[in-house]
Structure 1
Amino acid sequence: MRKVQLLMPALAAAIAIAGSSCSKSDKNVNPDDLVNPDNSTFVIAVTAEGSSSEATDYVLQSKDLMTGVITPVGQGIEQKSYRMYEVVGKTLLSITYQGTNVVPGYALNDKGILSKKNGEFSILRLHARGVVDQDRMFGMFCPRDGSAEATFYEINASSMSVARQAKINVFQTANNWKEWAYFNDVRMVGGKVFAPFFQIKNSGFDTQYADSAYLAIFSYPELKLEKVIKDERTGTLGRYASNDVLSITESGDVYTYSAAGAIAAGSVPSAKPSGILRIKNGTTDFDKDYFFNIETATGGYKLCGMKYIGGGKALAQIFSFKDHVAGDKWTNRDCRLAIIDLAAKTITNVTDVPLHTGGGLQYGCVIDKGLAYLQVQNADGIYIYKVDLATAKGTKGAKVQGKAVMGLFKMTK
């Protein structure tokens, strides 16, 4: 069983002495060390070093991601089990990625220190989730044992409650009654619920339907399945539990990606190319006039992941090798970073960021004043990198001491 702790580090003294950040208790924390003049702070969820079966997670605060060492050392609020994190408005949700779990929430107090909110709620593990607004998040639990129903949750993070839950028939959604839908993102789009999925026929994620993209559209709030749209120009959408499959632009257009056959990203083999599709604002079908073939544009390389960063652009991790073999599965190895202009169909490689393990974009990417902050992990360890989005140039920042970064956010009081 894992442990999760909430840690509020006193950065100034610790960095000056040891280049690290830690604290014993709220009483020892100087908010000036953690909170920027605009009342913002960075929040980082780190899995500490440990055995393969046991490790400790911490949530740390810092106003600076570019200097020193961010390390999970100190005391804090302990929780149980492996977790994922999401910020909804001003609330950080700590979500157990196991069976039934109790979800606590955290917010910045009047001093800017992350503190536990009143109230908790119980849900099943979430394989798909999407922030709706400053109060609400959608989430979905997907069975992979042949059970017929996924569970949909509407969560109110402000009140720390489940506003409603409903059941969705995964066989009806897949519409072939041989395999079932496995959702990997869920968003509110134009008053409807959009939920991309791939199909599986067993718990090993095998499928006979890897050569098309599928997205289910449900009415809201009834959650009646209105239609499933399909596109045969690329393969299945997104990746397992990625929660970054849909990019909704300021104009209301929706872009979605396929890693099609990228075994290193967990995909099954596919004859279709990795690419990006579009659903134009006000429509509920894939745009027949738009397809961005990533493999053609890059000379044969596949997407690992993609996250919308605003202004019609997305930050993407693209594999640096063409041949994906069975031994690559789930490794997410050797990705390079790029900026994709979705409408213009252009790709600009980010300079000064080394090859790294992909998939990290799903655990948080902070966009702030023309800059992107994200984790970069490879054989040299884990570092925070800052990317100037105008110049596509990266800058190496703080080292993260630990096994993994499970969340990276910016919060305000």
Structure 2
Amino acid sequence: MKKQITNLAVIFGILLLVSACSKDDDNPVPNGGNDGNGGEKKEFSYLLALSLPTIDSYPFHILKDVEEGTADIDKSQEIPDLPYNVPVVGKDGFIYLNSAEKLTKYEVDENGILVDIGSVTNLGISGGPVFEFLDDTRLLISSGPRSTSDGVFSYQIINTKNMTEESNGTITLPVDPNSQAVPSAYIHKDGKIFVPYIHSDENFASYNRAPVAIFDATTFNYEKTIYTENAAGLGFSVVSSHGFAENGDLYIAACNTNYWASNETIPSGIVKIKAGESEFDNSYFFNLTEKFSGNHTGGFLYLGSNKALVQVFRGDLIQEYKDYQGGFVIEYHLIDLITKTTEKLNLPLLKYPRRAMELIGDGKVAIVGNTENDGNNIYIYDSATNSVSIGLKYEGTQQISTFMTFR
């Protein structure tokens, strides 16, 4: 395989790599054709980014099904002439990848091959672009440097229908002197853009309260910043870390682990901002570190009916920083946001937390499983039966580094 994509491993700690805060479409969309065996033919729906650092190869693989079967890296694809590709988001059958110079929209042909159908000059390369769709065709994105000492971040609004820049500008996140700001997400809520961000000292250790800056979603004028003392850092930009309940309440994960916010003196957990409001609900905090015997959490995926999945880092297995990403230290737990009960999923210890879980429809979640003894798999959690099974078994890669839907 010809090398075209550089290593998506740790660059500047957690700050550089794939992001994930996209909204999930929970309804599969078949194309109405036939697979030649009397069954319904499925559209291509899933992207896997693969990692083979020992041979410096980082291809993509497009798949129709991840709930069963096997796939092999021989059918994967590397993008020519774009040595730095970062998966951003998939939507309406298209895939958006960010490179050093441009954001590119791809469609998938009948053979499962990515085809470039348009691009726009971006703000630079960042392993964890922060983005949000403002509507079906307007993408707010910051793709450049992720950390600044003045709190100023550039953004673009891209018309994804014709891949043109509609507008651009800057937002300013409040920071103290000699400190750093790192945005975790753009969240569109009630006509506002909520921006949870890491506010840290010059050594990237977060302060003892976590901020969310709020901007008008039309003018991008700054309105205010709200703070919670229940978190050091809100959001986790390289995996889903927030979700809206059916009543419009917004839940955001507080990931205070040394992997991200670097302040484990405050427990990781879940905070809430009620529907129609722009202040924290101070009566609500779900202390997950207390539930998980002192361990801290990473990603958070809202499933519906007040249930969610969270990643838990096993602190007793972490000896150095690289273990957060390269060690088999990750568990998954089901949590109930109302009763505050938890249940560990029946999975082996996994490695690599980034872009590792996503809704795939029918109440099911795909969980990337890079295991120590059982290969590289996509595990399927079924909320209807509250069970986990092995779905796709992937052969030929050292690691699956991104899972993404795009239907």
Q: Which category of TM-score, normalised to the shorter sequence, fits these structures?
A: 0.7 to 0.9
Report the equivalent of 1:371.
364
Which AA in structure 2 matches 1:210?
Y
Matched, 1:183 2:176: no
| SS of equivalent to 2:280 | coil
Report the equivalent of 2:252.
256
Q: Contact 1:84 / 1:407 at 8 angstroms: preserved in 2?
A: no
Report the equivalent of 2:268.
274
Q: 2:153 aligns with which of 150, 154, 160?
A: 150
Question: Where does 1:328-367 land on structure 2 (aligned, <5 Å)?
Answer: 330-331=324-325, 333=327, 334-351=329-346, 353-360=347-354, 362-367=355-360
Q: CA deviation at 1:146?
A: 3.8
Report the equivalent of 1:107.
107
Matched, 1:87 2:98: no
Matched, 1:246 2:234: no
Cα deviation code 1:45-101 (max 9, x no counterpart)? 33242437x3232232233442123324466652422322211333210122xxx42
Report the equivalent of 1:383.
377
| SS of equivalent to 1:56 | coil
| SS of equivalent to 1:119 | strand
Q: Using the alignment, how far apart are the partners of 2:402 and 2:160 within structure 1?
A: 17
| SS of equivalent to 1:295 | helix
Report the equivalent of 1:116.
115
Q: Using the alignment, how far apart are the partners of 1:94 and 1:393 within structure 2?
A: 33
**Shift in alpha-carbon separation, 1:273–1:367, aligned structure 2, 3 A:** same
Report the equivalent of 1:235.
232
**Shift in alpha-carbon separation, 1:66–1:82, aligned structure 2, 3 A:** farther
Q: Using the alignment, how far apart are the partners of 1:345 and 1:193 within structure 2?
A: 28
Q: CA deviation at 1:363?
A: 4.8
Q: CA deviation at 1:359?
A: 1.5
Q: Using the alignment, how far apart are the partners of 1:74 and 1:220 within structure 2?
A: 39
Q: Using the alignment, how far apart are the partners of 2:133 and 2:303 within structure 1?
A: 15
Question: Where does 1:36-55 land on structure 2 (aligned, <5 Å)?
Answer: 37=40, 39-51=42-54, 54-55=56-57
Q: 2:204 aligns with which of 203, 206, 209?
A: 206
**Shift in alpha-carbon separation, 1:387–1:243, aligned structure 2, 3 A:** closer
Q: Contact 1:33 / 1:62 at 8 angstroms: preserved in 2?
A: no
5+ long unaligned stretches in structure 1: 6-29
Q: CA deviation at 1:31?
A: 8.3
Which AA in structure 2 matches 1:374?
I
Report the equivalent of 2:4.
3
**Shift in alpha-carbon separation, 1:300–1:363, aligned structure 2, 3 A:** closer
| SS of equivalent to 1:78 | coil
Q: CA deviation at 1:250?
A: 2.5
Report the equivalent of 2:164.
161
Report the equivalent of 2:69.
67
Q: CA deviation at 1:294?
A: 0.7
Q: Using the alignment, how far apart are the partners of 2:117 and 2:322 within structure 1?
A: 44
**Shift in alpha-carbon separation, 1:74–1:274, aligned structure 2, 3 A:** closer
Q: Greater helix percent: which structure?
A: 1
Report the equivalent of 1:17.
none
Q: 2:289 aligns with which of 295, 298, 314?
A: 295
| SS of equivalent to 2:290 | helix
| SS of equivalent to 1:306 | strand
Report the equivalent of 1:314.
308
Which AA in structure 1 matches 2:119?
E
Q: CA deviation at 1:131?
A: 3.6
**Shift in alpha-carbon separation, 1:269–1:325, aligned structure 2, 3 A:** farther
TM-score, normalised to structure 1, is 0.80
Q: CA deviation at 1:338?
A: 1.4
Cα deviation code 1:250-308 (max 9, x no counterpart)? 32111011122x22x33313311111100000111110110001122233222122122
**Shift in alpha-carbon separation, 1:120–1:295, aligned structure 2, 3 A:** same
Q: Contact 1:48 / 1:55 at 8 angstroms: preserved in 2?
A: yes
Q: Contact 1:49 / 1:402 at 8 angstroms: preserved in 2?
A: yes
By relative contact order (CA 8 Å, sep 6+), the higher-ranking structure is 2
| SS of equivalent to 2:48 | strand
**Shift in alpha-carbon separation, 1:339–1:4, aligned structure 2, 3 A:** same
RMSD between aligned residues? 3.1
Residue-pair matches, total: 372
| SS of equivalent to 2:282 | coil
Q: CA deviation at 1:411?
A: 4.0
Report the equivalent of 1:304.
298
Q: CA deviation at 1:375?
A: 1.0
Q: Contact 1:249 / 1:310 at 8 angstroms: preserved in 2?
A: yes
| SS of equivalent to 1:3 | coil
| SS of equivalent to 1:229 | strand
Q: Using the alignment, how far apart are the partners of 1:134 and 1:388 within structure 2?
A: 28
5+ long unaligned stretches in structure 2: 7-32
Q: Using the alignment, how far apart are the partners of 1:31 and 1:406 within structure 2?
A: 31
Which AA in structure 2 matches 1:183?
P
| SS of equivalent to 1:348 | strand
